[in-house]
Amino acid sequence: MTIKDIAKNLNVSYSTVSLSLNNDPRVAEKTKKRVIEEAERLGFTFNANARSLVTKKTNRIGIVFSDNFNAPDYRWFFNEIETYSTRAVENCGYDFLIQPNKNIHSQSNILRMVNGKMVDGLVIFSKTLTEAEYKFLSDADIPYVYVYFKPSFSADIPDHFFWDDNRKGGYWATKHLLEHGHRKILTIRSNDPELKMYDDRTAGYMEAMEEYGAQPAVLTARMDFESQKEFVRQNIEYIRKFTGIFSQQDLPALSIVQQLKKYYGMNVPEDISIVGYNDIELIHYLDIPLDTIADPREEVITNAVNSLVCRIEGREDLSPRKIYPRLITRGSVRDAAQAGPVK
C-alpha cells in the first residue's frame, strides 16, 4: 500500500495525501481527517527510514530527562512529564525518543542524538545539564527548548525556556492562610538545593509573610510520601507551635495530614490548616480535601512542544513562555479563630 493508492481512492493529489500525513497546516482539517482515516483503514504506515533520507528529517523529537529522574523524590514529577510531553509530541504529528541526560556509559545523550541526527529537535527537562552540553546546544543547528529547569549557565532567562510562576504560587498559597487569620505559618520545602522551583516558592512565601508582618519559619524535607512519618515524629513539638502549614508539594502534605491525625490526634483543618502544591491526582484517590496550588504543568509542556515544532517547521511561534498557577480550595483551611486548641 502506497500514498498513491490512498490518493486514488480519495480522488485527491499525491501531494495532498503526503502533506496531510505530515500534518501540514496548508491542508484543510477536513481533508486531513479523510486522508488519515483512509490510511488507517488500509493499514498504511510511513517507512520512516526512507522518508528521512528524502526529507532530511526524522519526524522525531527527543525528550531529555534528568539523570536521577527515577529517584523516589522525582518519580511522580517525571511520570507526569512523560505523559504530557509524549501526548503533546504525538498531537503535533511527531514520534518521540525519551532519554536520560547521560547513558549508562556516562555519555551525553544530547550529543548522541544531535550528532547522530536521530531527532529534529529536543525538549529538555533536566537539572543535570552540563555546561559543555549547554554550550554545545547554543552552537548547534537544531531547535530545542528548556522546560522547568533553567540552565544555571545562563545569566538571563532564555527565550526558549518554559515554566510556571512558582514564586506567585508560593505567594498565593501563603496568602490563602494569611487571609484566614493565620500568622504562625510554617512552610516545608525540598531539601534538594538543586531544585530551584522551591527557592521561588519559598520566596513567594516570604513575600506574603512580610506583607502581613508575620514571622517566617522554614523546614526542609524530602518531597516524597513515605519519609513524612519520620519527619513529623522528629518535628512534632515544633509543628504544634503553628496554626498553618504551607507544604511546597502535595505528596508530603497528604502524608502529613495522615500522620498528624493517626499518631498525634491533630485534625485538619480543626486543629491546623494546610495548603499543598501541584494538585496531584492522589488527592482524589485518598479522599483528602486538600487546598493546593494547581500548577499548569500540561499547559506549560504543551506550549513548549508547540513552540519547538513551530521552530522545526519554520512557522511563527506565539506560545506563551510563562504560565500562572491557581489556587484550588477544598476545605483544609479554616479561620485561625475557629481552630481548636493544639493538643
To the nearest 10°, report the CA torsion of 87, 278, 226, 287.
Answer: -100
Q: pLDDT at position 51, please? A: 52
Please state which of the ranges 31-35, 108-112, 237-241 shows the lowest mean pLDDT: 31-35
- What pLDDT digit, counting tens, does each position of 310-335 carry? 999 999 988 899 999 999 999 999 99
Q: pLDDT at position 8, please? A: 87
Mean pLDDT of 6-10: 87
Mean pLDDT of 57-84: 86
Distance, in Å, from the CA atom of 160 to the CA atom of 148, rounded to the nearest integer, reads 11
Which three-class secondary structure state does DSSP give residue 251? helix
pLDDT class of 76 with cuts at 50, 70, 90: confident
Mean pLDDT of 90-96: 92
Mean pLDDT of 120-137: 94
96 touches 86 (CB < 8 A) = yes
What the chain holds in terms of domains, given with CATH numbers, is 1-45 (1.10.260.40), 58-162+296-322 (3.40.50.2300), 164-293 (3.40.50.2300)
pLDDT class of 53 with cuts at 50, 70, 90: very low
Distance, in Å, from the CA atom of 147 to the CA atom of 77, rounded to the nearest integer, reads 13
Distance, in Å, from the CA atom of 173 to the CA atom of 247, rounded to the nearest integer, reads 9
Average model confidence (pLDDT) across the chain:
89
Q: pLDDT at position 56, please? A: 66
pLDDT at 57 over 50: yes
Please state which of the ranges 73-82, 208-217, 264-273 shows the lowest mean pLDDT: 73-82
Position with higher pLDDT, 48 vs 314: 314
Please state which of the ranges 54-58, 74-78, 148-152 shows the lowest mean pLDDT: 54-58
What's the burial of 274, exposed, middle or buried (CB within 10 Å: 0-12/13-18/19+)?
buried
pLDDT at 194 over 80: no
Q: pLDDT at position 156, please? A: 77
Mean pLDDT of 225-232: 93
Distance, in Å, from the CA atom of 343 to the CA atom of 340, rounded to the nearest integer, reads 9
Mean pLDDT of 125-133: 92
- What pLDDT digit, counting tens, does each position of 160-187 carry? 999 999 999 999 999 999 999 999 999 9
* Percent of the chain scoring above 70 in pLDDT: 94
Per the structure block, which three cell numbers stand in for 251? Answer: 505528596
Q: pLDDT at position 1, please? A: 62
- Per DSSP bridges, beta strands 121-125 and 95-100 are unpaired
pLDDT at 339 over 70: no
pLDDT at 42 over 80: no
